[in-house]
Structure 1
Amino acid sequence: MTSVRRKWEPIVTRPLLLASLLGAVLAAPAAFAQTSVPFTLDWRFEGPAAPYFLAIDNGYFEAEGLDVEISPGQGSLDAIPKVATGAFPIGFADMASVIKFIDQNPDAPVTAIMMMYDVPAFAVVGRRSLGVETPADLEGRVLGAPPPDGAWAQFPVFAAEQGLDMDAITVEPVGFPTREPMLAEGQVAAVTGFSFTSSLSTMRLGVPEDDIVVMLMADYGVDLYGNAIIVNTDWAAENPELVTGFLRAVAQGVRDAAADPEAGVAAIAARNPALDSELEVARLNMALRDNILTDWVMENGIGGIDEERFASSLEQIAMTYEFTNEPDASRYFTSEYLPTDGSLMME
């Protein structure tokens, strides 16, 4: 009976085998299909954006089934309406600005899902030669501030914590392209901006490093969080695994950028040959050191928040902003899409 069964076995299974192989071949494209995910930054392609480009170049997004295209932004507030309207499913934005936007637009389908800057890069950057070394020196001088700037949005909290008289500070609305040139030319004594953007961009314009003072707002009583990855909640609800995969890939990109900042900047330079790579490596290192890989992140992993601190940050925002609705921390940030497989740990 055994020999008979073997004799007839090829006659029965050969068509089934061929059908199975054919099915596998036809299914192969679907198995490797990538979902297109446009991602908007808050600003230009600079050093701190290296983790996202490394996640592309090193195949981390692809491994998660994602085809990610990165677009530059025009300021900390720029990405929020883009994501809320669905123009981009995922973006990068200032957390405090996200909170205010949701308060003013409670039905907007947007929320933060991964904290990238555990310490915000909000800073006041001034020049010693123009009389600015401490927060109190801003009184009686001209401060350049782009209206859409996230640092400017938090300046009232900084001023309140330092007991500054806002009426004694002349605020000059400036554009992002003219902010650092105006500081370099002495038209303003200080500017609001991200620490690693305004300081290094001013040095690039010829201002000596020892003439530049960087007052990181977090060192002067501001207990806010910085920039976070935000998502369109309608899209996230339909694609939860893709969202988690996106965050996992970003975390790997952060690890790679920390391990080799030069390679991270090279990934950006491949998209912008005119990039000043040396400057951007310095900018990336500043962001990693001061904002991203903080002690809290090294202990707890990247992406999450400390609930107590987050509650404190809401209280600080309320110092200078009148909430339309009762603040609800769960509406502004959710950890439900963060990977739970240990991939957020930075060591």
Structure 2
Amino acid sequence: MRAIRTNAIRSRLSVLLAFMAGLCAVAGFTAKGVLAADDPPPPLAIQFSLDRPIDAAAAPFVMAATGGLFSAEALAVTTNIASGSSDAIARVAAGSSDFAVVDLNALMRFRDKDKQGGPRIKAVFVLFNQAPYAIIARKSRGVRALTDIEGKTLGVAEGDLSVRLWPAVAKQNGINIKHVKQSSISAAVREPMLSAGQVDAVTGFSYLSAINLRDRGVPADDLAVLKFADYGCEAYGFAVIVNPAVAAGKPEAVKGFVRAVIGGLNLTIKDPARAAAEVASRMDGGSKDLELERLQAILRDNILTSEVRRNGIGAIDPARFERSIDQVAEDFKFQKRPQTSDIFDDQFLPPLNGRLIN
């Protein structure tokens, strides 16, 4: 009898030990599962295209990278350089780049010509609230105001984006464009030709050509920088676009990219000298002082506008954007006039308090 009891006790003990071992195994598995869930996911590899060689306009992206803001959003961003906005847009369309910064007005034209079916590329963040389009002229050659351009020679570089809005600006200001001699020139000789007096004025970006000319020795008081925005041009400028598949499949990554760029812009505004130095260090023979001058002009004229200070960075005013489409149409015949929602998608922007500039 005692033997039977002993065996029964041993049997119960074995069952109890087995049960406890099972509990421990389950607990161990659960603990491992919790630890695994707490491990940060590996960063998502992102290809990002600049539409031109790096300069001060890229400062927010550079500062987002150096400040660890992309990493904080679990993004591993690799930057490549395209040969212009059309090339950068094509890379995003093909999927070889996930994001790009491009001229928003070039995106309108690209989409209108795009024959591919399926989702279309849209902008998700506007960096330049005002386009940098301008005519840069020599006062010593008789051009002090926009109306002085009639009867003069205007140098236009191949691929220049400013000239696409010139017909609308001319019309708005009562200038007969037929009375302006337009000379096609290479972008490489745009500033040298104006410096040498071979043309009276050139189209270009205000923060590029004007500062390049001063760097070439043209006196600042001899330059007239006629910014289209001061003459009724409603166009927005550079914007971030995203591949449609990325937008649909990885919306949190798109939101994270936008947040990082806004953070990079705030770092740029807080310390423009450091931002200019970071940009110059990534250029071949870059000058910190020159890029700082460019950056200050960009912040003043193109980014920190009254609209941005009121409504935050990154968004658009739909009514203004509709007017800008009409201005683009002065030089470009749309197959189908786009609506604002065809070009810009605001769903990836942070709330207003996340877009206000400090």
Q: So what's the TM-score if we normalise by structure 1?
A: 0.90
How far the C-alpha of 1:280 sits from its partner, in A, is 0.4
Assess, with a 3 A threshold, how the Cα gap between structure 1 residues 78 and 190 changes in structure 2: closer, same or farther. Answer: farther
Contact 1:55–1:249 (CA under 8 A) maintained in structure 2: yes
**Which residue number corresponds to residue 63 of structure 1?**
72
* C-alpha distance in 2 between matches for 1:220 and 1:76: 24
Q: Are 1:259 and 2:264 an aligned pair?
A: no
Out of 40, 44, 47, the position equivalent to 1:35 is: 44
* C-alpha distance in 2 between matches for 1:212 and 1:151: 18
Contact 1:76–1:148 (CA under 8 A) maintained in structure 2: no
**Which residue number corresponds to residue 98 of structure 2?**
89
Out of 289, 306, 316, the position equivalent to 1:278 is: 289
Structure 1, unaligned stretches of length 5 or more?
Answer: 1-6
What do you get for the CA RMSD once the two structures are aligned?
A: 2.4
**Which residue number corresponds to residue 74 of structure 1?**
83
Q: Are 1:156 and 2:167 an aligned pair?
A: yes
**Which residue number corresponds to residue 136 of structure 2?**
125
Contact 1:76–1:149 (CA under 8 A) maintained in structure 2: no
* C-alpha distance in 2 between matches for 1:13 and 1:346: 54
Report the 3-state secondary structure (helix = DSSP H, G, I; strand = E; otherwise coil) of the residue aligned with 1:173: strand
* C-alpha distance in 2 between matches for 1:128 and 1:341: 43
* C-alpha distance in 1 between matches for 2:309 and 2:352: 16
* C-alpha distance in 2 between matches for 1:64 and 1:44: 26
Report the 3-state secondary structure (helix = DSSP H, G, I; strand = E; otherwise coil) of the residue aligned with 1:193: strand
Assess, with a 3 A threshold, how the Cα gap between structure 1 residues 142 and 35 changes in structure 2: closer, same or farther. Answer: same
Report the 3-state secondary structure (helix = DSSP H, G, I; strand = E; otherwise coil) of the residue aligned with 1:126: strand
How far the C-alpha of 1:215 sits from its partner, in A, is 0.5
Contact 1:38–1:69 (CA under 8 A) maintained in structure 2: yes
Deviations 1:39-75 (A, max 9, x none): 1122221112111011001111111111112223434
Contact 1:103–1:325 (CA under 8 A) maintained in structure 2: yes
Contact 2:169–2:231 (CA under 8 A) maintained in structure 1: yes
Report the 3-state secondary structure (helix = DSSP H, G, I; strand = E; otherwise coil) of the residue aligned with 2:353: coil
* C-alpha distance in 1 between matches for 2:308 and 2:229: 16
Assess, with a 3 A threshold, how the Cα gap between structure 1 residues 86 and 173 changes in structure 2: closer, same or farther. Answer: farther
**Which residue number corresponds to residue 325 of structure 2?**
314
How far the C-alpha of 1:147 sits from its partner, in A, is 2.8
* C-alpha distance in 1 between matches for 2:339 and 2:151: 38
Structure 2, unaligned stretches of length 5 or more?
Answer: 1-15
Report the 3-state secondary structure (helix = DSSP H, G, I; strand = E; otherwise coil) of the residue aligned with 1:214: strand
* C-alpha distance in 2 between matches for 1:110 and 1:175: 30
Q: Bigger radius of gyration, 1 or 2?
A: 2
Count residues with an aligned counterpart.
341
How far the C-alpha of 1:11 sits from its partner, in A, is 5.7
| Of 246-255 and 311-320, the range deviating more from structure 2 | 311-320
Report the 3-state secondary structure (helix = DSSP H, G, I; strand = E; otherwise coil) of the residue aligned with 2:348: coil
How far the C-alpha of 1:16 sits from its partner, in A, is 5.0
Report the 3-state secondary structure (helix = DSSP H, G, I; strand = E; otherwise coil) of the residue aligned with 1:37: strand
Q: Are 1:169 and 2:180 an aligned pair?
A: yes
- Give structure 1 regions of 4+ aligned residues with deviation exceeding 4 angstroms: 7-29
* C-alpha distance in 1 between matches for 2:20 and 2:271: 56
* C-alpha distance in 1 between matches for 2:30 and 2:223: 69
Report the 3-state secondary structure (helix = DSSP H, G, I; strand = E; otherwise coil) of the residue aligned with 2:262: helix
**Which residue number corresponds to residue 4 of structure 1?**
none
**Which residue number corresponds to residue 155 of structure 2?**
144
| Of 149-158 and 209-218, the range deviating more from structure 2 | 149-158
Report the 3-state secondary structure (helix = DSSP H, G, I; strand = E; otherwise coil) of the residue aligned with 1:49: helix
Which residue identity lines up with residue 190 of structure 2 in the other structure? R
